[in-house]
Structure 1
Amino acid sequence: MNGLMAVKLRRDLRISWSRFVLMVIAIAVSLTVFGGLLAAWTSIGRETSGAYMSTEPASATIVLDRGLDPASMAALAAEARKRPGVSEATGRTQFDAAVAVNGQQRAVPLQVFVAAPDDPMRMAQFDLRQEGTWPPPPGEILIGGDSLGLLGVAPGDGLTVTPPGAPPLRLRVSGTVYDPSLAPSPQEQRGHAYLSAASLQPAVLDQLKIQVAEPGQRIPSRDRDTVVKVAGEVGAWLQRDKGLAIAEIQVPAPYAHPHQWQADVLLLSLMAGGAAALLLSTILVANMLNNLFTQQIPQIGIMKAVGANSGRIARLYLAMVLLVSAAATLLALVPATLIGRYLLGRLLGTLGIQATNVAAPWWAYAVIVAVGLGLPPLMALRPLVRASRITVRAAIDHHGGSSKPSGAIARLSRLHGLDRGLLMALRNTVRRPARFWLSVGMLASAGAVFVASMSLNSGTQAVEEQRRQQRYWDVDAQLDAPARAAAVAEAVRTVPGVERVEAWKRAKIGIAGPDALPFTRTYPDQGHGSVSVNTVPEGPLPAPPTMLQGRWLQPGETGAVVLSQIVRDNTVPGLGAGDTVRLFIDGKPSTWRIAGIVEEREGGGGDAYTTAAGLAAASGQPPLVNQVRVMTTAHDEQTRQSVAAAVERALTGAGMDVGVAASVSRTNAASAGHMGPVLLVLLGVALPLGVVGAIGLASTMSANILDRTREFGVMHAIGARPKTVRRIVVAEGVLLALAGCVVAILPALGLTAVLGVGLGNLFTKAPLPFRVSLPAVGIWVVLSVLGAMLATEAAASRASRITVREALTYL
């Protein structure tokens, strides 16, 4: 570029600096969001995988129907290591227990993981954080670091832990543990603890954990089918040669954190929105540059007349675009880095993982720079080439856009009583159709996403309300050992404040897989992926589940089971109502007829239902219960907590061992923790789209003012006051904003429906209820109008100050 072209470039940048600033901001905002999401996405997989794999998780956990002493389990694990495909094996156990801290009973249960004192800890590891050693001496226990606040405990405090069917243990908290293989305690509303088998009398281990290697290698296999095959062979060996019955074989998704998919879906969804915002911003910049090129057509004609060729002119404007791209990229790099690190920390927090390195890989920054420098010139290439190739004759004949009003507006202008200024604003709004639809489209995109996100939030609130209605009980009590339903009901009915009592039995089950063994997708926390059967009480339920197929259970029916769509899809996706399924209950196989399929949501309750008579017939045991649901006369939290404590005392006084008796609010908090991230998806998308839409409106109005410089000069010449001109320009912006709101209606409804189905199935295993947030509609209309008035303020001020002389000299 020679000196004259450089002079012109500097002059154009100086004269139209406000327009170039808007271009830089539009690209920088969207590139910041896109870059931050990209940085977080490229880092979260590394951090999650590294943290999870650092625990050396088991590929499969084989749960025995009875426990073995540590010495016998160690010998069994040594033999298992010699089995084909098994690279490591160890024995463990775990249980849920009631816990009291310094004599104060806690409402949340404690999940205790137990290993033998001489366990080499080569598998299912954890990191010690404060004080504490492994194995802890008898009488001491380690607590998960994220469980301290939930339990209200600190190192050095005394705990009373009551294992199922065993006397209470008095333990001292000797330290804390970091275990990234588990979901966070606050999200699950359950504490985590780690105990040596030396503290248990008697000490029994009922889990054989194995790591499965790739065929012919020592590295862990990431193929679940391979893991299932090897685990099935080990299970068959245990049954055939060792005489051990298998209660369950747990094979979760290999080496994937139970909540990792949530972070992946969130980031991918947000990245899609960030990419959309980036694309819209570059389209906006291309349109703004096209307006600039169009404005400079007479200048291009003059440059060509004095000897400039198309190549030199193209290089001039390409340098202009590159300067905008470079400035936006430099402006976005630091905020994108900070946003990426902040978002990474928040998402890892939902997974219970502490980041070791928050920096994104180098190639993520290379992608941000490449996109920032390359996408705007690419989008502006067509108008740039078209402007540089215009001939001298075409440049001389150029007169700008037509101001001829449309037929409808022309007919409106003939009506008496209509404000002339409003009619002029309406005419000017649509005089450039391409510019009009670009501005309206960007505003409509932001509005549709904002309304859809708030409507999605309304859908999640409706889900929580449905869950609360389905959890019609107020207090939930778990028994360590099954008891007779009549005895349980009689003991609880005497408690003041109790209105109704339901006695249930909940038992973990397995679904028949290879070699007719009970396989599940259960994670080590025994919550994610587990399958349980619930016996329903006699009589109609206050809140019956929604049937998707078939029918509900009949009183006293045997041999029939109702499955939720979650367990059906995860275990036997090809089966439906009327088919048969083979279940393992207490390690014993039985064949059941599927009476129906009900709709449930992730974290919402049981996976399968049968009658008490049906479960008793299949297990060969009398119809006992281990779960009590209590409805109270008042439903406030104070009443629930007082009744829960009284129910525990009443059951204990009747000779029953109570695991946990707590208000249902704890379960509500756990399910709400799972739904929390959903709203973040679309609100994060709406923000950059809204900013780009506002910039687009401002640029549109600025271009309109430049196009009509002479028109405003004529208006001033015939007596128009500055206030009148300002009002016309502001009215144009408001009309554009209102048009964007109208255009956003159908996309908002469609986006709400589509995302309600997609995100609902991903997060809760069922579509979200379709809800439209009317407050969100009103908020967006108000924000759009106010934003339009602010965005057009600068253009309106400039239009009101144009003099007649400036208009006559405008080129």
Structure 2
Amino acid sequence: MSVRAKKIFRDLTVNKARSLLIILAVAIGVAAFGLMLTGRIVLEENLRDGYAATKPAQTILTLSAFDDDLLNSIHELDYVEESFAFRLDSARLQSSGDVWLSMEIYTLPEFDSIPLNKLNSEDELTTPPLNSIYLERSLNNVMQVGDSITVELLSGDLHTLKVAGFVNDLSRLPSEISLTGVGYISLETAEELGFDTQYNQLAISFTNAKSRAEIEKETTKLITEIEAENYFVLRASIPQPNKYVLGDNMTSVLFILNALGILTLILSAFLVTSVMSAVMSQQIPQIGILKSLGARISQTMSIYFQEVLLFGIIALILSIPMGLIGAYFLADGVATGMNFDVTQFHLPTQTLILQAFSALLAPLLASLVPIISGSRITIREAISNYKPENTKNASRFGDLPQLINLSIRNTFRRKGRLLLTFFALLLAGAMFIAIIGIRQSMRNAVAELQGDLNYDISFDFAQAYPIESIKDEIAKVNQIESIETWAVNDARLVINDEHQTGSIIMYGVPEDTTMAQPAVIHGTWLDENITRGIYVNADFMDLSPNLKIGSVIKLNINGTEEEWTIIGSGGRGFIPTAYVFYDDLTAQTGLDGFANRLVIQTGQSDSVSQSRIQSDALSHLAENNFFVVNSQTTTQLKETTAAQMDILIILLLAMVILIAVVGGLGLAITMSLNVIERTREIGILRSLGAQNGVVRRVVIIEGLVIGLISWAISIPCSIPLAIWLGNSLGNSLLARPLDYIFSIPALLTWLGLTVFISIIASILPAQSAAKLTIRDALVYE
């Protein structure tokens, strides 16, 4: 082994704890970086490939009943690539006890050769047996294969079906979000249930349409041809082409997680800077000896760069499996929450290259300044390196106990190292405080955007009924405080004579409504002085780049076209939605005095009471021939939405934990270096009779001082960070920035965590200091 190799090996092994800590710090930073890269790539690849494999329909039309004759004529159209007919019926599913869930039941003519919106199954998909049903797998947390479930039809009839299995349908929102169960049955089972066996849904893909505008134009042409054959198209759903409905949510979260992964890598690089500064400072006498033996600056630098490179190589070896394991759990957790599968998990080549690049280059760059500075020292400077401590301010903490005074003064001796240590802990603290505040901000924003849910229970009818009849019957149900009746219609935005968008849900609400009060982000809410004014959500505004507040638009409602003026817009949902006054809507539909939606307030805020009142109301309405196709309690919807937002917060907090670990390692490294540099001082304390406990307390108190100062500084630093996160997440997920909320509980929680991290990070250095004897101090080099 060469002399150079021996020196490098000795430097790495002479202080094994220090070397281990710096390797771990770099490894965690590189692992976090790789975790985010691999997680993002694997998730995007699996979602893209998995969604494409289902052959997503470009449009789904809801029609009046039709049979194979219409389907065959559509097959013959040269601009239609593929078509698939099926039937959709609404029902209610008894999920547990007295809790009922709205349900959509799809009757499919075939299961083994579905051409569009294919279902995924762990086993080969075959037609379910008679009186059996496949459930969308987002229901598998409340039901199991073989269970018997109770389904209530619109007629009020109850049927028992057996769960034949679970399938994954990427064309649907997970039940946890939509609060609607989804099931799939055969034509034979549909006949047993009494369903009409004619189709009412038509899934289409076009030959040459790729963009949303092209799909809308082809859909407009197709609807014209269908209606020319005396069929009525009730709704045209056009999803974003080649994009899973929750894809944007995943992209937004992964973008922020990637940014945090890069920050973690940068923090670990700072720790390398801190360690190498200390190493170069401690080895100035050795550098002087090397210089006296004729070593050039480049040769001296080469020795220490090789040390750093060795740190990076060992860290890389550790970081690759660490990052891969973390990426697996990240991908699995995100995919499970968003209801798709990770079928192909691998280590991407670009991740491996970037991890190697970061593990080797980041430490080298971080150590560049201290190595160059230390290597340029002259022999004379090395010999005269002793610099006495500045003691003119030694008594500035004189009012404190002597032990604490000593710890505080020790803290500020190495200001550069102190700043690097502060930065890691400070960032972790600022992130923690900001994210907990963001959680509350997101919940508040969701509550504001759910102002259109200022009711407890909603009922959607299969057809429009006279308003007075609805009011008379619902008044007979107990514990209902107030009601409103709305008109709900499908509409399509007219771009030109040959181009209409997909369907928009239009709610016609009373002028004095108190149950529809969505948060206004731009413009204003409906104004009785503005005829045909319309308030829309962000998804509506996305239908055309030309839409803005004040735009006069033309809407096709039930085959008639009228102009409306956009006067306000709100946040994002999953489908385009609009609110208008009831009188304006019914003036176009001709259904004045009729309503097909009922919303009620009960005065009960808990989901159990609301569910009980819902069941009573549904039973009474069914007994009096009011057919309800869908009913939801808003408490369930709000709790579910809040839970979905919490998933994002959990992912962000996972990254904060990594940052905190790096910060804790940084503090441990700092304390270890401080103990090494103060070996002589500890020897003096020993000669004055200091016991092990005293030496330990000096080190631990010093660690606590660093932690508490970082905690104090993290408070103001969390404010701009929270604002940035609020803007990024809010605009991406909700189409509005989040209001800043400062969280006192987060502040106090991080204080406790800071104390814990500081003590844990200081224990090993404190124990090391306590083991030093007077002899160790005398022979210290």
**TM-score of the alignment, normalized to the shorter chain, above 0.5:** yes
The residue correspondences of 1:382-781 to structure 2 (distance < 5 A) are: 382-399=369-386, 403-404=389-390, 409=393, 412=396, 417-463=399-445, 466=448, 471-515=453-497, 517-520=499-502, 531-541=504-514, 544-554=517-527, 559-572=531-544, 574-594=546-566, 596-602=567-573, 607-717=577-687, 723-781=693-751
**Higher deviation after alignment, 257-266 or 719-728:** 719-728
User: What residue is the counterpart of 1:323 in the other structure?
Assistant: 310
Asked if 2 retains the 8 angstrom alpha-carbon contact of 1:446 and 1:690, the reply is: yes
Quick one: distance in 2 between partners of 1:123 and 1:632? 43
Deviation at residue 117 of structure 1 after TM alignment:
5.4
Please say if 1:113 is aligned against 2:106: yes
Asked if 1 retains the 8 angstrom alpha-carbon contact of 2:308 and 2:364, the reply is: yes
Task: Number of aligned residue pairs: give it.
Answer: 777
User: What residue is the counterpart of 2:81 in the other structure?
Assistant: 87
Please say if 1:147 is aligned against 2:119: no
Please say if 1:73 is aligned against 2:70: yes
Pick from 297, 302, 306 the counterpart of residue 293 of structure 2: 306
For residues 277-308 of structure 1, what are the alpha-carbon distances to aligned partners after superposition, in whole Å with 9 as ceiling and x for unaligned? 11110221122022112210111111232344
Please say if 1:275 is aligned against 2:262: yes
Q: Secondary structure at the match of 2:88?
A: strand
Asked if 2 retains the 8 angstrom alpha-carbon contact of 1:222 and 1:255, the reply is: no
Quick one: distance in 1 between partners of 2:385 and 2:684? 20
Deviation at residue 56 of structure 1 after TM alignment:
0.9
Asked if 2 retains the 8 angstrom alpha-carbon contact of 1:101 and 1:157, the reply is: no
Quick one: distance in 2 between partners of 1:637 and 1:790? 44
Describe the shift of the 1:619–1:320 C-alpha distance in structure 2 as closer, same or farther (beyond 3 A): same
Q: Which runs of 5+ in 2 are unaligned?
A: none
Q: Secondary structure at the match of 1:546?
A: coil
User: What residue is the counterpart of 2:22 in the other structure?
Assistant: 23
Deviation at residue 721 of structure 1 after TM alignment:
5.6
Describe the shift of the 1:156–1:800 C-alpha distance in structure 2 as closer, same or farther (beyond 3 A): closer
Quick one: distance in 1 between partners of 2:84 and 2:626? 34
Quick one: distance in 1 between partners of 2:149 and 2:671? 69
Deviation at residue 448 of structure 1 after TM alignment:
0.3
Write the letter of the residue equivalent to 2:441.
G
User: What residue is the counterpart of 1:182 in the other structure?
Assistant: 172
User: What residue is the counterpart of 1:335 in the other structure?
Assistant: 322
Quick one: distance in 1 between partners of 2:542 and 2:132? 39
Deviation at residue 579 of structure 1 after TM alignment:
3.2
Deviation at residue 735 of structure 1 after TM alignment:
1.8
Quick one: distance in 2 between partners of 1:622 and 1:480? 17
Describe the shift of the 1:117–1:37 C-alpha distance in structure 2 as closer, same or farther (beyond 3 A): closer
Quick one: distance in 2 between partners of 1:693 and 1:172? 54
Please say if 1:807 is aligned against 2:777: yes
Quick one: distance in 2 between partners of 1:15 and 1:663? 67
Quick one: distance in 1 between partners of 2:342 and 2:658? 27
Write the letter of the residue equivalent to 2:568.
I
**Higher deviation after alignment, 796-805 or 364-373:** 796-805
Please say if 1:133 is aligned against 2:123: no
Q: Secondary structure at the match of 1:252?
A: coil
Write the letter of the residue equivalent to 1:708.
R
Q: Secondary structure at the match of 1:621?
A: coil
For residues 487-541 of structure 1, what are the alpha-carbon distances to aligned partners after superposition, in whole Å with 9 as ceiling and x for unaligned? 1111111112222222222223222235364313xxxxxxxxx631112235351
CA RMSD of aligned residues (A): 3.3
Identity %: 24
Pick from 246, 266, 269 the counterpart of residue 259 of structure 1: 246
Asked if 1 retains the 8 angstrom alpha-carbon contact of 2:454 and 2:514, the reply is: no
Describe the shift of the 1:118–1:77 C-alpha distance in structure 2 as closer, same or farther (beyond 3 A): farther
User: What residue is the counterpart of 1:52 in the other structure?
Assistant: 51
User: What residue is the counterpart of 1:525 in the other structure?
Assistant: none
Quick one: distance in 1 between partners of 2:659 and 2:167? 43
Asked if 2 retains the 8 angstrom alpha-carbon contact of 1:187 and 1:673, the reply is: no
For residues 221-264 of structure 1, what are the alpha-carbon distances to aligned partners after superposition, in whole Å with 9 as ceiling and x for unaligned? 6533443444444445556x656665554332211111122222
Quick one: distance in 1 between partners of 2:767 and 2:639? 53
The residue correspondences of 1:156-195 to structure 2 (distance < 5 A) are: 157=148, 160=151, 162=153, 174-195=164-185
Q: Secondary structure at the match of 1:191?
A: strand
Write the letter of the residue equivalent to 1:364.
T
User: What residue is the counterpart of 1:523 in the other structure?
Assistant: none
Quick one: distance in 2 between partners of 1:120 and 1:805? 83
Q: Secondary structure at the match of 1:690?
A: helix
Quick one: distance in 1 between partners of 2:111 and 2:264? 57
Describe the shift of the 1:686–1:27 C-alpha distance in structure 2 as closer, same or farther (beyond 3 A): same
Q: Which runs of 5+ in 1 are unaligned?
A: 215-220, 521-529
Asked if 1 retains the 8 angstrom alpha-carbon contact of 2:449 and 2:519, the reply is: no
Describe the shift of the 1:722–1:602 C-alpha distance in structure 2 as closer, same or farther (beyond 3 A): same
Asked if 2 retains the 8 angstrom alpha-carbon contact of 1:531 and 1:567, the reply is: no
Q: Secondary structure at the match of 1:562?
A: strand
Quick one: distance in 1 between partners of 2:768 and 2:425? 23
Describe the shift of the 1:142–1:425 C-alpha distance in structure 2 as closer, same or farther (beyond 3 A): closer
Quick one: distance in 1 between partners of 2:29 and 2:748? 26
**Higher deviation after alignment, 335-344 or 359-368:** 359-368
Q: Secondary structure at the match of 1:404?
A: coil
Deviation at residue 58 of structure 1 after TM alignment:
1.5
User: What residue is the counterpart of 1:209 in the other structure?
Assistant: 203
**Higher deviation after alignment, 427-436 or 612-621:** 427-436
Asked if 2 retains the 8 angstrom alpha-carbon contact of 1:698 and 1:792, the reply is: yes
Asked if 1 retains the 8 angstrom alpha-carbon contact of 2:448 and 2:518, the reply is: no
> Scaled by the length of structure 1, what TM-score is found?
0.87
Describe the shift of the 1:141–1:722 C-alpha distance in structure 2 as closer, same or farther (beyond 3 A): closer
Asked if 1 retains the 8 angstrom alpha-carbon contact of 2:117 and 2:170, the reply is: no
Quick one: distance in 2 between partners of 1:149 and 1:422? 55
**Higher deviation after alignment, 473-482 or 686-695:** 473-482
User: What residue is the counterpart of 1:97 in the other structure?
Assistant: 91
For residues 149-206 of structure 1, what are the alpha-carbon distances to aligned partners after superposition, in whole Å with 9 as ceiling and x for unaligned? 45x474474654636x898888665554332333322332211122456746644444
Quick one: distance in 2 between partners of 1:137 and 1:790? 61
Quick one: distance in 1 between partners of 2:677 and 2:372? 22
User: What residue is the counterpart of 1:294 in the other structure?
Assistant: 281
Deviation at residue 19 of structure 1 after TM alignment:
0.7
Q: Secondary structure at the match of 1:109?
A: strand
Quick one: distance in 1 between partners of 2:112 and 2:695? 84
Deviation at residue 698 of structure 1 after TM alignment:
1.7
Please say if 1:123 is aligned against 2:123: no
Quick one: distance in 1 between partners of 2:120 and 2:692? 72
Deviation at residue 98 of structure 1 after TM alignment:
3.0
Describe the shift of the 1:20–1:108 C-alpha distance in structure 2 as closer, same or farther (beyond 3 A): same
**Higher deviation after alignment, 174-183 or 93-102:** 93-102
Write the letter of the residue equivalent to 1:274.
G
